[in-house]
Amino acid sequence: MTRPIIVALDFATKEEAVQFLHSFSEPLFVKVGMELYYQEGPSVVRKLKALGHAVFLDLKLHDIPNTVYSAMKGLAKLGVDMVNVHAAGGIEMMQAAKRGLEDGLAEGSELPKLIAVTQLTSSSEELVRSEQKSELSLRDSVLHYAKLAQTAGLDGVVCSSLEADMLRENIGDDFLLVTPGIRLTEGNHHDQKRVATPNLAKQLGSSYIVVGRTITQDKNPVAAYRSVQNDWERD
């Protein structure tokens, strides 16, 4: 069975997010990012979980290992399904994140999937070379970070769909590849640089696609969700 689409709830308030979700008849897999979490805090996650939605808490932690450990220990208590860090924080930081989740988990709860951002889908080859001053190409940098995440014992990474086939070849099938930067057409990419359609993402090996504005800013979000779903699920 095809995995659910992760819908990015990039709204300023809990009320807007909940109102958006009222149009759907089924529970979704939703993503709470910095915009919503920094306004509403843990209460928004509790509300979404109470409504029956699976939650990816996309806070992209990146700090010293001790701070990330403590932050993850707190987040583990929220009962989220997926959380993330930046792989650039290094193996020790990623291992601390994992330990924090394990230590903070309420008894009987399932450990959230822990994944690491490799290179943001808004980053281009040019940015990686000239602003990050990387000696590696963007694709090699994504592979490098994915290997660090694997060494640290994480469940997977965030990357663009365009690197998914390369990661599958080098890292194997037993690793989650969560891919934002999804667009249905060649139209508006907004700030995303590395984009793919849902179906291309699937063909290249994505485990989950993350879709925000294509659905949330459409005048008929449910119809937009169904279009993404049809493209993602077709062979």
Q: Which of 47, 63, 147, 218 is catalytic?
A: 63
- Tokens 């930046």 found at: 86
Q: Binding site annotation covers 235?
A: no
Q: Is 60 considered catalytic here?
A: yes
Q: What are the phi and psi torsion angles at 73 (to 5°)?
A: -60, -40
Rounded Cα distance, 67 and 156, in Å: 21
Residue in 47, 36, 84 with CA at minimum distance from that of residue 216? 36
State which residue, 119 or 150, has the beta carbon closest to ligand LLZGTKA7: 119
Residues near ligand LLZGTKA7 (CB under 6 A) are 8, 10, 33, 117, 120-121, 158, 180-182, 190, 192, 210-214
**Nearest approach, Cβ of residue 7 and ligand LLZGTKA7 (Å):** 9
Task: Tell whether residue 5 is among the known ligand binding residues.
Answer: no
Min separation Cβ 146 and ligand LLZGTKA7, Å: 13
64 is in an annotated binding site: yes
User: Which residue, judged by CB position, is nearest to ligand LLZGTKA7 in the bound state?
Assistant: 212
- Written as one string, the DSSP assignment of 99-144 is HHHHHHPPTTPPPPEEEEE-S-TT--HHIIIIIS--SS-HHHHHHH
The nearer residue to ligand LLZGTKA7, 206 or 214, going by C-beta atoms, is 214
Q: Which of 14, 47, 49, 60 is catalytic?
A: 60
Please check if 213 is assigned to a binding site: yes
User: Is the Cβ of residue 100 or residue 180 nearer to ligand LLZGTKA7 in the bound state?
Assistant: 180
- Which is nearer to ligand LLZGTKA7, 18 or 105 (by Cβ)? 18
Point out which residues pair with 8 in neighbouring strands.
31
Nearest C-alpha neighbor of 180 from the set 210, 205, 204: 210
31 is in an annotated binding site: yes
58 is catalytic: yes
Q: Cα–Cα–Cα angle for 1, 169, 6, nearest 5°?
A: 40
* Cα dihedral 33, 205, 102, 147 sign: negative
Task: Establish whether 147 is a catalytic residue.
Answer: no
Catalytic amino acids? 58, 60, 63
**Annotated binding-site members for substrate:** 10, 31, 58-67, 121, 183, 192, 212-213
